[in-house]
Amino acid sequence: MAKRVGWGWTTAAMLGCSTAASSSGTEDSSAVEPMTTAASGTGDPSAAEPTTYGSTTGLTDPDSTGDAPTSVGPSGCGADVAPGPTIVQTTGGALEGQPLADVVAFRGIRYAEPPLGDLRLRPPEPRMCVPGLTPATELGPRCPQVEKDAQGQVVAMLGDEDCLTLNVWTPATGDGARPVLVFIHGGGNATGGSDDPLYDGAALAAAQDVVVVTLNYRLGALGFLTADALAAESPEQVSGNYGLLDQVLALRWVQDNIANFGGDPQRVLLFGESAGAVNTCSLIGSPRAAGLFQRAIVQSGSCNERTLAKYEADIAAPWLQASGCGEAPDPAACLRGMAIADILTLQPDGYPDVAALGQGWGPHVDGAVIPKPALEAMSEGTHNAAPLMFGANADETAKGVPPLTVAQYEGLVQATFGPLAAMVLAQYPAAEYGDDGQAAYVALTSDLKFICGARRAARAADAGQDAPVYRYHFAYDGYDAQPNATKAAFHGLELVYIFAAWDAVLPEPLQYEPNAADLAISQRLQGAWARFAATGDPAGADLTWPAYVAAEDNGALLDEPPDLFNGVRTEQCDFWDMYAPG
């Protein structure tokens, strides 16, 4: 029996939050080796020369439909390897997974060619076929990123540029029609990776008889840098959004291959949390993702892509100037020749902060990958219409805001909101939060960044599609906390229950033992997410959940026991819709 340990601040690092406002939002990195410069960081054992297979036209050519090959195991590319309980043929060759207690795990599957050398800062190229049988038992490295301490100082550089891999957990390979759940990790589009133990899909796949997929995508400047020299290389004269195109290619890989893993390519749920939710919403609005998923969940992330002008002013242009490549004779070649360490440490680095109100790296409206903001596309009905779900947690920024006196809180609001500060303080008076400046600022930032954005997105989707829309508010805080720790439904907490990731809660050798309420809400959330993937409706015998009606602003209150709501933080969200729309 595992030793029960109270749940407290340590959990924050496992869930993409830190205890310091200056550095919150980063995922746990304890499982990642220091960054290497090897071109084959995933350890692909095949020594044979790969043969070309697949096309990138769907990613780069605006006149292309984007259709990719749907047959697997072409001649000379694993066709001579017999499928079996742990062996699956794919468009990239035959793979051998690892049998676990209740599922088969396939880890570190390359879905794209390594984005190295001339492929850096370009749309991804589909994985070429590799003959023979390739082991798929080790998680691939996360994409390059830095780790910072509570003071914001870089303490490590993590990952490998050869990082475009995905992972599959399935109850059984071969013919099947199981729902497929594809997860996009968070981390501010600058940190995180599918190697995080929080995202292990084995328990979810086994408990709900579904196929679970997690993936890596390029982060920071490598994933989202815009520059005129890069745009000049594109048929559409656009740059950036490479990390989003990685996700599109991974979804295409799922469409082409998941049937051999026992999944149904016509019942694919795309769900993401934090920055992964931002990306999910962008894919809802992107024509590049049309037909690649049939439902989507946006968990604790805004639908708020910036214009190219604002995006470049916020982060891309200052970063390019700091790089020195903007004035080089060949800026694109200069960028592709930069050392990873230099790329990661240039300012602004976009390191995420769950409580900060600014934005770093991420999707932007480029007129091609993202023709218009997702909110606008959903409102107009020009998005990828499907059953959609939007939600947030009750105390999103609780782990990202340090203790504040009332005077400190009011000074922070004054400095942040300027001429609007008096109205903001009238809307969020410290007295309503026990004269606790920290609690008041948690409420303010949770509403502004997450809760009100969920309402805004649900309303937009409800206006622009006939398919049902659902909204949730996650308020569970029934976990066992360490002494003197304040319990809250903080950013990322719901992921522990969706993935039943008890081993990810505390650092080794400590182990969290879930209590009865933890187990109950985990089963409830897993069932709802699996039903939504299977049918487009999350309701079940254990959970009443009506479709969203904008006039009622209704949804499911995810707590133990669950409840329903009509309106969440309505007065506050009306205020932000008036003074900070979008």
Cross-strand partners of 129:
51
185 a catalytic residue: no
Q: Choosing from 185, 364, 383, 491, which is the catalytic residue?
A: 491
23 a catalytic residue: no
364 a catalytic residue: no
Q: Choosing from 27, 147, 396, 494, which is the catalytic residue?
A: 396
Phi, psi of 309 (to 5 degrees): -60, -45
Report cis status (omega within 30 of 0) of the bond before 99.
Answer: no
Q: Output b/e per residue, 521-544; b: 16+ Cβ within 10 A.
A: bbebbbbbbbbbbbebbbbeeebe
Structure tokens at 69: 């090959």
Give the Cα separation of 434 and 440 in Å (integer). Answer: 9
Give the Cα separation of 497 and 514 in Å (integer). Answer: 10
Contact 194, 142 (CB under 8 A): yes
Q: Choosing from 23, 274, 302, 522, which is the catalytic residue?
A: 274
Give the Cα separation of 191 and 492 in Å (integer). Answer: 14
Contact 123, 115 (CB under 8 A): no
Q: Output b/e per residue, 303-340; b: 16+ Cβ within 10 A.
A: bbbbebeebbebbbeebbeebebbeeeebbebbbebeb
Give the Cα separation of 486 and 477 in Å (integer). Answer: 10
**Contacts of 337-343 spanning 24+ positions with Cβ under 8 A:** 340/35, 340/37, 340/144, 340/157, 340/161, 341/157, 343/144, 343/220, 343/221, 343/222
Q: Catalogue the active-site residues.
A: 274, 396, 491
